[in-house]
Structure 1
């Protein structure tokens, strides 16, 4: 576990989550989900313990191998989707995760982060300032395409304002909720008596979703 100075508020928050919350997490539930949303805590190494670094994440990261070893393939149904968020820096690892979990990459959506004036929101970066985040769409088995499910007019770019760290825009959740509903009502996959979607690394409970994460009640 990394060592942080006593007056390093972000570092102390990470320690608190790692010590008090993560060890008490329940196992990832196994329910043959038809839709999985995941936003893993990708590991950033640069200046991790430097309190002056404004780009640090406020929660503990997982190692690359820990993320790859997650039992995602076991909780996804035979014919299912995954929506996997990744930073630009971690795209290669994210594609490896899809393969390790048994999913085939189908499309990449880009979240263009904008200011209130509609201009690109400049983030960090040594090879260009990051203004985007990527969403990988993956499927397993014979999951029907989005167009087969009636989602025929969905652009693969989301233009929305950046919010608090790691919080995804509501435009994404409109898509995820619609896709989840269509998968649950797909006659080809059989009817369900309850929702079959889960958000991993969640920070709040969402209606009609199972939620798993260190910060969700």
Structure 2
């Protein structure tokens, strides 16, 4: 007698309508904890800005479409892995972008830190494309496997800003950039890059698991002591939240975790150092860039805590800043000439100065 076999598929238990998973419960609790800070702080800053004529709802008249330039930098970094590594004693770890005559030199972008030490920005051809390189800046185009030049170039930084490509569903769907598992961030050689007391700032998504990872695992792994949490609040040109504050899907703010690097062999008490205490729960309110995932510059905001002459580094950068060193596998992405409106330099003042000097 033949017996029929019935195969039962194990179905995933469907959540009841309104039922939250643990991650959503944690996110809701975190939001409720900081909600009043975001609401009241944003209102105060927006009111102040509007009293000065900002956030009036006016937008620029230009509505040109955003550049659609295809960024191939990450792919080039992958190709560069096939190049042989040079022994330490034979390697120059830094190189000048421009020659003494002020023209672009032949540079190795993947295994040396490239510097533009001039007092002016330069438009340079690199890898068949044109990029604008700010004055007094340095950068390394690489991924984890080629970060050694940044470590070996002999610089120790007073500020390290990290904008990790966190894993999340929207990134997977959009494929705008490659994400990175949280555990891989421990490979960043922060203890080899930071000076004692270095201010480490990490951009974090609103997932509580990412926030816990940074506070409880990543910073202790590097020897970084958490000192504050800040919030970047995104508003429209009229000062409204870009998303409803209590939206269950997207929040109009992101978190920054700030810490001080305390080397294990540094026995100096934090009270004995010259570090300025960092206030907790500060807000940065701004209109977000139209470019995806482009964060506001923290250069001016952080000067109070590190000084105007601080050496600053950005990790996972996708653009350059004057006075900063930047690293990432798309470090030149938003320096492409298509993202800029160029105007001819006004040489009349310089010529007048030269004529006056001759007379």
Query: In structure 1, which of residues 39, 43, 64 is the aligned counterpart of residue 167 of structure 2?
Result: 43
User: 1:20 matched to which residue of 2?
Assistant: 76
Map 1:1-217 to 2 at 5 A.
16-22=72-78, 23=81, 24=110, 25=142, 26-27=146-147, 29-30=150-151, 31-44=155-168, 46=169, 49-50=172-173, 56=174, 58-89=176-207, 90-95=210-215, 96-122=217-243, 127-141=248-262, 142=270, 144-147=274-277, 156-163=282-289, 164-170=291-297, 172-182=298-308, 184=309, 196-217=311-332
TM-score, normalization by structure 2: 0.45
CA root-mean-square deviation:
2.9
- Residue 49 of structure 1 and its aligned partner are, at CA, apart by 4.9
How far apart in 2 are the matches of 1:198 and 1:136?
A: 16
C-alpha spacing 1:199/1:48, structure 2 compared with 1 (3 Å): closer
TM-score (normalised: structure 1)? 0.71
* Structure with the larger helix share: 2
Asked whether the equivalents of residues 161 and 169 of structure 1 are also in contact (C-alpha less than 8 Å), the reply is no
Moved more, 110-119 or 66-75: 66-75
Paired residues of 1:201 and 1:213 also in contact (CA < 8 A): yes
Bigger relative contact order, structure 1 or 2 (CA pairs below 8 A, ≥6 apart): 1
CA contact under 8 A between 1:17 and 1:60: conserved in structure 2?
no
Structure number with bigger Rg:
2
- Corresponding residue pairs, total: 181
List runs of 5+ in structure 2 lacking aligned partners.
1-69, 82-109, 111-141, 263-269, 333-359
Gaps of 5+ in 1: 1-12, 51-55, 185-194
